[in-house]
Amino acid sequence: MSSLDVLVDQYINYLLVEKGLSKKTIESYSSDLTRYLKFLKTIKIRTISNADTTAILKHLISLRNAGLGSRSRARHLVTLRGFYRFLVEEKVIENNPTRIVDLPKSGLRLPDVLSFEEVKRLIDTPDINKPTGARDAAMIELLYAAGLRVSELVNLRIQDVNLEACFVRVFGKGSKERVVPIGLYAKEKIDYYIKTFRPKLLKNIASPYLFVARAGKPMTRQGFWKLIKKYGQLAGITRKIKPHSLRHSFASHLLEGGADLRSVQIMLGHVDISTTQIYTHVAREHLKKIHEKFHPRK
């Protein structure tokens, strides 16, 4: 099994050095591939050329028999797809045997997406005549405008925001940098917050962070989660929403509006486009509803 082990080590090193993935993501990939290698050993496969589509299907069946749910099995398959794609690119093998293997049914849970009306109600709920309200409105608007992760939002610094050019510079997973455009609504809310209320929140304390809480410190993820929950209730949104719901809504609304998948992938900061493809399911459901509602021969 040494040759298979070496290939996996090379792939993990590639993810670490070339892709710059986070430690948690690397550990997840490594765990999935280690389990796959152990399975190959049990069925007497010792070379990558023999680890074909049949072996992959047997592995997925073994995971199901071991009690793994469809979502966990789908994650394993996504890991294997990346591994085999790497082997093809490195010319270790000629064809990717995972191409014809479908994700387990319901393997990837569809994200919770707010309607545009719900997003607008949520953004309009904070009282922008108060320092914390102006800050919260700007945070919610920016989260939706740029599709940021909460950790990216709360760690934004003043220097990362260019209001004149309407973009933010974000450092995502694995410290990968990306630049995301923002709209005029977000620009206006951020500008209003910075000029009118940020100095009052700081109380003569210097801070590099854009959105500040007490003593000039950045807001925590947990603190912002509580705010979203509170504003969701005040906005009359009955379903459970999280900060990530706005990131999901950002991606889905772009695709519904005609944006291409690759552009959305870049704005979200996804390394693998297969991660972004989950939103196409949501967009398709939206199109189906439009068709059923308006087509004369539905």
In tens, the pLDDT along 85-111 reads 999 999 999 888 888 777 665 545 556
Q: Is the pLDDT of residue 1 over 50?
A: no
pLDDT for 290 equals 54
Percent of the chain with pLDDT over 90: 44
Percent of the chain with pLDDT over 70: 87
pLDDT for 280 equals 63
pLDDT tier at 2, thresholds 50, 70, 90: very low
Q: Is the pLDDT of residue 273 over 90?
A: no
Give the residue carrying structure tokens 């973009």.
167
Work out the average pLDDT over 215-220.
84
Q: How far apart are CA 77 and CA 47, in angstroms?
A: 19
Work out the average pLDDT over 51-63.
87
In tens, the pLDDT along 112-161 reads 788 889 999 999 999 999 999 999 999 999 999 999 999 999 999 999 99
**If we measure between CA atoms, which residue out of 41, 128, 29, 126 comes closest to residue 80?**
29
pLDDT tier at 50, thresholds 50, 70, 90: confident
**Domain residue ranges of the chain, discontinuous segments joined by +:** 2-89, 116-289
Element (H, E) at 96: none
pLDDT for 60 equals 87
pLDDT tier at 253, thresholds 50, 70, 90: confident
Across the chain, mean pLDDT equals 85
Report, at the CATH architecture level, how domain 2-89 is classified: Orthogonal Bundle (1.10)
pLDDT for 282 equals 57
Which stretches of the chain are DSSP H helices? 2-17, 23-42, 53-65, 70-89, 116-124, 131-146, 150-154, 184-192, 198-202, 221-234, 243-256, 261-268, 273-276, 278-294
pTM above 0.75, yes or no: no
**If we measure between CA atoms, which residue out of 156, 163, 170 comes closest to residue 209?**
156
Active-site residues: which are they?
149, 173, 244, 247, 270, 279
34 dihedral zone (left: phi>0; alpha: psi -120 to 50; beta): alpha
CB contact at 8 A, 208 and 158:
yes
CATH assignment, 116-289: 1.10.443.10
Sorted by sequence, the CB contacts under 8 Å of residue 173 that are 6+ apart come out as: 21, 22, 25, 149, 269
CB contact at 8 A, 241 and 114:
yes
204 dihedral zone (left: phi>0; alpha: psi -120 to 50; beta): left
